[in-house]
Structure formats: C-alpha cells, structure tokens
C-alpha cells in the first residue's frame, strides 16, 4: 500500500546484500508502526539484492532509487534526497530491528520536540547469530542516552550513536546538508559533529 505522505522515510543503501537483505526487510515489514516508506538505494548491485527487495513491495511501501556513484556516502545522500517523510530512519541491509523499534522512536520524538537525533541501544551478533556483549576494543556496547553526554562523546571524537539505529528529523538534513567523504568509515560521526551546534541528541 502506497502512502501519499509517509511520517517516516527508511533509507537503506544496498550493495550486493542478497544473503542478508531478506531478513532486514522482513524486520521492516514486521514493524508495529506502519506509516512509512522504504527507500532502497541500489548502489550498483550485481546480485539478487534488488530482486529480493521487490518481493516486499506491498509490505514496506517500497521505492527503489538508483545511485551509480559507488560508496555509502553518495548512496546515503541519494536516499535522503528522495525521502518524503518528516523523520528519517536508517537501516543497513545486514541489520534487523525489533518490531516496535519505529513505534518507540516516533513516540519519543513526538513527546520530545526538542530532540532532533535519536539513537537506540543495540545487540551485536556474529556471523552465526550469536550475541556478542562486547564490541570495539572489547568494551561493552552501551550507548549514552542524554544530550550532554552524547555531545561530549562527539567532541572527544567518539561515536555514541549506532548509525543504522538512528532516527532523525528531516530538518537536520535541511540544515546540515548531506554526508561527506572526509572521514573514511566515519561519515556518520562527521555528520553528527556537523549537526552538534544545531541539534539535540538522545
């Protein structure tokens, strides 16, 4: 079912993710919150990723956007530019969500109009689906939750937000602009640092 003006635009860059994308999109289809569009950015896939995505057409209000320039940054920018929702939700093609993820984030942002960027806690799984309680540098994967601490992390050069968990207001994109390639593998950290003077985080 197509929604004329979705509340949320889910942006998913995709490059040869046939082994994981079905699980990711099923988790989108299973969301309790339904007022969304799903923007798949086809970043020159040569496998069955897009064919698999199309099987979810009727379940996730699917739109497919082509991005011929290779890389996560141009793919993200293509997805953001195509988005119609007032809220942007990020997902990667190898991640998947709890069913109430969108519902909880939308409710939080509606109840906290001063918050612009909202992350979540996450669970890391290995390639066999086994839970991994520790992440980078063998540290526990626990993210800060308040604006002040999140901004302190950012100013110290640490990323306190898991990118594919984030929901943010479209106004952030309109103020900050698109992602840039200045920091390899840290385009999200750089994006939040640029948003820091203008936005509140949770």
- In angstroms, the CA 56 to CA 9 distance is 16
Q: How confident is the model at residue 1 (pLDDT cuts 50, 70, 90)?
A: low
Asked whether the predicted pLDDT for residue 47 surpasses 80, the reply is: yes
Q: What does the alpha-carbon distance between residue 149 and residue 154 come to, in Å, rounded to a whole number? A: 9
Output b/e per residue, 67-103; b: 16+ Cβ within 10 A.
beeebbbbbbbbbbebbebebbbbbbbebbbeeebbe
Give residue-wise pLDDT tens across range 132-165. 777 666 777 789 999 999 999 999 999 999 999 9
Of 172, 167, 180, nearest to 196 (Cα)?
172
Q: Report pLDDT digits (tens) over 92-105.
A: 999 999 999 999 99
Rounded to whole angstroms, the Cα distance separating 178 from 45 reads: 22
Confidence at 56, pLDDT banded by 50, 70, 90 = very high
pLDDT, one tens digit per residue, over 66-99 is 999 999 999 999 999 999 999 999 999 999 999 9
% pLDDT > 90, the chain: 83
pTM of the model: 0.93
- The pLDDT, as a whole number, for residue 124 is 85
Enumerate residues 6+ apart whose C-beta is below 8 A from 136. none
**Vertex 186: Cα angle to 184 and 191 (nearest 5):** 120
Pairwise CA distance, residues 28 & 97, whole Å: 7
> What average pLDDT does the segment 179-199 reach?
91
């Amino acid at each position: 079912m197509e929604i004329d003006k979705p509340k949320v635009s889910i942006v998913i860059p995709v490059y040869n993710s046939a082994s994981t994308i079905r699980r990711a999109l099923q988790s989108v289809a299973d969301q309790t919150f339904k007022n969304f569009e799903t923007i798949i950015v086809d970043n020159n896939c040569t496998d069955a990723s897009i064919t698999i995505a199309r099987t979810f057409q009727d379940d996730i209000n699917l739109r497919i956007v082509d991005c011929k320039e290779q890389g996560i940054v141009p793919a993200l920018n293509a997805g953001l530019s195509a988005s119609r929702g007032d809220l942007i939700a990020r997902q990667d093609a190898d991640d998947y969500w709890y069913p109430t993820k969108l519902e909880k984030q939308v409710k939080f942002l509606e109840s906290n109009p001063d918050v612009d960027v909202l992350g979540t806690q996450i669970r890391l799984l290995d390639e066999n689906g086994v839970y991994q309680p520790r992440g980078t540098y063998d540290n526990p994967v626990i993210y800060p939750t308040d604006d002040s601490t999140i901004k302190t992390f950012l100013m110290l050069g640490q990323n306190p937000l898991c990118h594919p968990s984030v929901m943010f207001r479209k106004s952030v994109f309109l103020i900050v602009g698109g992602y840039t390639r200045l920091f390899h593998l840290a385009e999200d950290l750089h994006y939040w640092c640029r948003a820091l003077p203008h936005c509140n985080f949770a």
